[in-house]
Structures are given as structure tokens and as C-alpha cells.
Structure 1
Amino acid sequence: MSGGGTASLTDAVDWPLAARAGAVLAPAGPTAGAAELREHVEALRASAHRAVPHVADVTRMRFADGAGPARVLVVDRAGWVRANARSMQTLLRSVPAGHVARGPATSDDDDPVAAVVGGLEIGGTLAMLSTKVLGQLEPFGDEPTLLLVAPNVLRVQRQLGLDADDFRLWVCLHEQTHALQFGAAPWLVDHLRSRVGALLGEVAGTAAAVGEGSALARTRAAADLVRRFVRQPAGTPLAERLLTPDQREQMAQVAAVMSLLEGHADVMMDVVGPKVVPSVRAIRKAFDARRATPRGTDLVLRKVLGMDAKIAQYVDGAAFVRGVRRRAGTTALNVVWDGPQNLPTPREISDPAAWLRRVHG
């Protein structure tokens, strides 16, 4: 294309290639006999269903009319990659196409090459992440789907020497809490989709500015991106270094919601107590120690992919949930699911009392 125009962010990536490359690059995971693997998969699936009433009991939440438990899929790492490639493509369709302006120097021949490069980059990143995820709720598809990554659950259970049945149920309690969050608050999917879409659109517009206009304009735009990158404090995730102040604020708002979701699930998976998961305290102790002391490739991946920020979401969100429950109880906390106006702000995530004053007076 030789004269400007617009494109969707989905056009920048060869998504089938991303799914295929990521699936091929994803390591297979721990080895086991066929009978043991079948038993593990079936036990995971059964644990996912067992978790549903326990989550409803401890959260005191209910599915909204027309909603129900998520579909459960037990997958390998390649399956997780393929599912997330589809999810990312779906989410990026919400980004306004006008944000992704093609510069006048772009040719039709450049687009397929760029899409292939994008597909390989996305596929490689998903392959790396596929070794770390135990479970995931995918809320953006045609129906909510709970993905349980069988080899990863088995690997962590073996590494930490945990009771297999207890650990499988513990993981499922976390993921089914996510399913209930979105099932009890159907507005949450569109809220997140619009917020993330707006942020991605803004970032895409900033990046497109580098490829538009005169050589001087492109140089100035690139220099501005570099200045923002180097001025960020040490430890700032790579994804945040190129954001403008307004974009960082938008990201902070999204992060606050994610902190609530992750922290709420992290607390509730422990609240069930030893009557449901007999070794829950031992599991939590071992799991927190693992999070706190990454080693080898785990440490490298956390730095490259910004996973420290993800872990911080669990910690900050759990502190918020515990703070509200301690001060006002579970019923007061559950008002957070009534509408987007009740979601905690970035400041309130670290100040539960401020959220209580604003929402409950």
C-alpha cells in the first residue's frame, strides 16, 4: 500500500502461523506412563467440577441469570498456545482500525513479511509462557472456557512434593473463582475488552507515528520513544517503558482490575480450608516460596516477559481482598461485582479503606 490507509491490529500478525509455531516450539513437559497421564487428566477434569460448589460457598456469589459454570478443557502446552492465539486475535479485533495508520513508505509486499515476523514473535512468546501457566479462564470467546494445562500441574506438583489430589483441586478452586467472577458480573467481559482495546489502540497509534511523515518527523517520534524508554526506573517492565503518561494511567486502571481478579481468586482458594483441601497450608507455603525464589530459566522468563508484574497482581489484589473482608466482611466485598463504578482504582488497590469509604460511605 503506497498511500496511507488503515489496518486492524489483527492484520499485523499471521495468526495461524503464530498458533502453529508456538505449538511446535512449546516443550512437551514431564514424562509419565500412558495410564498415569490418563488418570491425571481425568482427575483434573473431576477436580474442576468438584471446585464449583466450594467456590460458591466461600465467595457467597452466584451466577447471573443465563450464566453458568465455564466449559472445562484439559490441554497440553500446544493446546494452550492455540487457544491463546485465538483469544488474542479475538481481543485485538476490538481495537479501532483507525489507530493503526500505515505510513506512506509502506508497500503491499511489506505486509505479508511483517505479518510472518509478527506471527513468529507471538508464537515464540506463547511457547515460553505455555510452560508456566497452570490454569486459565478464557472469557472472550463464544463461551467462557476454563483451560487446565495438565503437564504444568503435574510438573509443579512433582517439583514441590505435594499431594496430587489436593493440588489439583487447589488449582481448580482458583480458576473456578475466576469463572464465577465473570459469571456473576457479565458486564466484566465487555469492560475489560473495551479498556484493553482502547489501550492497545493508543499504543498502536504511538508506534504508527514512527512510520509516518517526513524523515525528520519519524526521527523525532523515534527519539521520543527512546527517551521514554530510558527514563523509566530500573525494573520497569519492558511493555511499560514505551508508554506515554496517559497510556501508563490506562494500563494502571487495567492492572487494578486484574489485581482484583487474581487476588480474589488467590484468597478464595485458601479460604476453603483443610476440610476441603487437607494440605492447603502446606501447598500455600510451598507455592509462595516457589514464587519468591525463581531460578534458572524461570528467573530469565520472569525478567524478559515481565512476569514479576503478574505476581505483584496476586499479592496486591490479595491484600485488598483481605483488607476489605477484615474491615467489612464478604458481603461488603461482593459489591465490587455490581458494576464498573465499584471496581477499585489503582490507588484503592493498596488502600482498601479508601475503597470502602467511596463505595459504602
Structure 2
Amino acid sequence: MQVIDWDLAVTTGTRLVRPGPQVSREEARQAVTELRTLSREAEGHVREFTKIHTETAPQPATIVDRPGWIRANVEGFRVVLEPLTDRVSNSANPPPAIVTAVGSRITGVEVGAVLAFLASRVLGQYELFLPPDPTGQEPAGRLTLVAPNIVHAEREMGVDPHDFRLWVCLHEETHRVQFTGVPWLREYVRSQMTEFLLASDLDLPTLLERLRGAADTVADVVRGGEGNLIDVIQSPAQKAILDRLTAVMTLVEGHGDYVMDAVGPSVVPSVAEIRGKFAHRREGGSRLDRTVRRLLGIEVKMKQYAEGSAFVHTVVGRVGMDGFNKIWTSSDTLPTTQEIADPGSWIDRVIGTPALPA
């Protein structure tokens, strides 16, 4: 049974996504080549600075265009949502075939529309969830950079292309280092996401109630409210799980921002200019753009960068990088959302009070 028509999601997304910036064939080739090179360079800087090491051999980044990013994310969604799809298929009271067929197509169009919106904005990402490799030879994750969006951003801001590309690579490579250097982290995120999905309420009355709440949220956000659809569609059990997911994603995003800015001054000469212009760009956009970002929870993600970076900055400043890296010991040493807001409480719990010198 297919809960989402994935082929329709890809078709819809690639049809709706806006074309990238106009570049010549040579400019495109040069951008792809440079991004691959800089991703390898950035990985060395990140490993040296973070002191996170791994047995995994460095891999060049995968460079994609906007439709390529959509296709890659649909494949990732299929992997993530497989437990929920299996649950619906094996339910004692599955929905009628006509309901599933129509519903899967509607959802496919919706997923495609959301991906089309995001595909023109995402600069890069570390893809945690890929279809399993039958040979077992391919890595479990993949770093993807969206070349047209990087070129568009550097042109829009008027910054040095080489510096901006390396700066972006520093952030995204930090995620690759996190998930390849901390072996349990990927499985922890996957298990939490599976638990989140399986905690959903699938009965029709509850679903209808959630949809009404979602409609109210859309109306409120259009009027300038602060809600988002992610909050509305959760069950009570999911809220606790999402709290844990939010904490770990705030940590990894904030760590990426911290490393990007800490390493930046030594290898990216114009990092101060880039950071200032990029921060302004994050806050900008049309009213419609800001409304959609708020609905999809993207504004929450922007807040995560700042909160996570402040947490990492405070902890490293007080206990050093070696002390901070105790955060990667196990899921028990990850910070809670409350500890991210109060780094001292995480230090007290995990690091403890340092002994006074003799």
C-alpha cells in the first residue's frame, strides 16, 4: 500500500521548482569542480578543529541541481517513512483502496510542492537516510551541495565566490564529520524519527481534527501569527519525542554554525562580510516567503542555528573542545532543550565541577 505517491511527488516538485540562475556551461563546470575540491578541503579543517576523527575515508560531495535535490529527498523520505507505510499496510482495518489511491496522490502533490519551495533555498545538506546499498560498499550518508542555489546566493549577496563556497562547505562538512565520527548518532536520530512516526494517531476522527487545526493555523499565520503546521499535527506522545529530536538537531546545527565561524577567519578571508550578509539574507524575503517558512517550521530551524551555536560557544569556552566532545559519548550525554538554553546545567550534569588544583 502506498501512503504517498512518490513518483507524483517528484513530478510535481520538478515541474514547480523555479529555474536556477543563468550560467554558461563553463561556469557550471567550474562551480561543480570547485565545490567538490572545497568539500574535501573543508573536511580536513573541520576534523582538525573539532577533534572528531573517523575511520571513514573522505568522500567528495555530491553536486546536484534543484530537481536532483528533489529526487534525492524523495528517496530519503521513502526510507524514513517506511515504518509508517508498513504499519498502515499491515493494519487490521486498512482504509479502502479508493481512499488510499486518492489520498496518496493528494499527499504526493503536497510533498512535491513543499520540496519545490525548499529546492530553491537549500544550499546543502548531509543526507542521513539513503536507500540501502545492496553491496554494502557505499557509505550510509551523503553530503549534497546544491550548486545553483550556492551560485545564486553568492551573486545576490555580492560576496567572493571562492570564500562563500568554502564557508558553506565548512558548515555542511561538520555534519558529515558528526555523523561519521560519532557512530551511534545516526541510528539514534533514525530511531527517534521512527518512534515519532509510529506514535501518530491514524484514526479518521483524530486525523480530521488535526486537519481542522492545521487549517486554523494557516489562517492564523497568514494574519501574522506564530504557529506552524508541525506543532498542530502532533499527538501528545509525539511532542515528547519531538522535544528530543529538536534538542539533538539544535545541537548539530549549532555546532555546524559554530565550527563554520570559528574556522572561517583562518581560511576564509571575507568571513565577516559573508556572515553579516548571510544573516541579513536569512531574515529577508517577501511576506509570502516568510509566511510559508513559518508554516513549515523553517523559522524554528533558523532559531536553532542561533541557540545551538550559543550553547556550543559557551560550553567550549568553559571546558574546551575536549570537554565539549564528551557530548558525543552517548545519547545520555546529549543536551535537553532546557540545557541548550542553560549550558551551565549541561556542564554540571555531564562534566561535573572540576577539581581544584592541589
TM-score range, shorter chain: 0.7 to 0.9
Q: Does 1:316 pair with 2:307? A: yes
Q: CA contact under 8 A between 2:339 and 2:346: conserved in structure 1?
A: yes
Q: Does 1:127 pair with 2:120? A: no
Partner of 2:122, secondary structure, is coil
Q: Deviations over 1:52-79 (max 9, x none)?
A: 111112111111x4x2334521100000
Q: Deviations over 1:241-276 (max 9, x none)?
A: 232333222111101100000000001011113330
Q: CA contact under 8 A between 1:182 and 1:189: conserved in structure 2?
A: yes
Structure 1 stretches lacking a partner, 5+ long: 1-6, 212-217
Q: CA contact under 8 A between 1:228 and 1:244: conserved in structure 2?
A: no
Partner of 2:96, secondary structure, is coil
Q: Which amino acid aligns with 1:166?
A: D
> Taking structure 2 as the reference length, what is the TM-score of the superposition?
0.88
Q: Superposed, which structure 2 residues align to 1:273-312 within 5 Å? A: 273-312=264-303
Q: Deviations over 1:303-349 (max 9, x none)?
A: 23221011011111111101101111111111111211111111111
Structure 2 stretches lacking a partner, 5+ long: 133-138, 353-358
- In terms of mean alpha carbon deviation, does 16-25 or 323-332 score higher? 16-25
Q: Find the aligned partners of 1:19 and 1:185 in 2 and give their Cα distance.
A: 32
Q: Deviations over 1:120-160 (max 9, x none)?
A: 11111111110110000012224221110011001110111
Q: Find the aligned partners of 1:352 and 1:264 in 2 and give their Cα distance.
A: 14
The structure-2 alpha-carbon separation of the partners of 1:248 and 1:228, relative to structure 1 and needing over 3 Å to count, comes to farther
Q: Find the aligned partners of 2:213 and 2:11 in 1 and give their Cα distance.
A: 36
- In terms of mean alpha carbon deviation, does 294-303 or 244-253 score higher? 294-303
The structure-2 alpha-carbon separation of the partners of 1:120 and 1:229, relative to structure 1 and needing over 3 Å to count, comes to closer
The structural deviation recorded for 1:96 is: 7.7
Map of 2:156 onto structure 1: 159
Give me the CA root mean square deviation.
Answer: 2.4
Map of 1:327 onto structure 2: 318
Q: Find the aligned partners of 2:119 and 2:210 in 1 and give their Cα distance.
A: 34
Q: Deviations over 1:150-182 (max 9, x none)?
A: 110011101111000000000001111000000
Q: Superposed, which structure 2 residues align to 1:1-361 within 5 Å? A: 11-63=2-54, 65=55, 67-95=56-84, 97-98=86-87, 106-141=95-130, 142=132, 143=139, 144-203=141-200, 206=201, 208-209=202-203, 211=204, 218=205, 222-223=208-209, 226=212, 234-361=225-352
The structural deviation recorded for 1:20 is: 2.5
The structure-2 alpha-carbon separation of the partners of 1:103 and 1:295, relative to structure 1 and needing over 3 Å to count, comes to farther
Percent of residue pairs identical:
36
Q: CA contact under 8 A between 2:124 and 2:145: conserved in structure 1?
A: yes
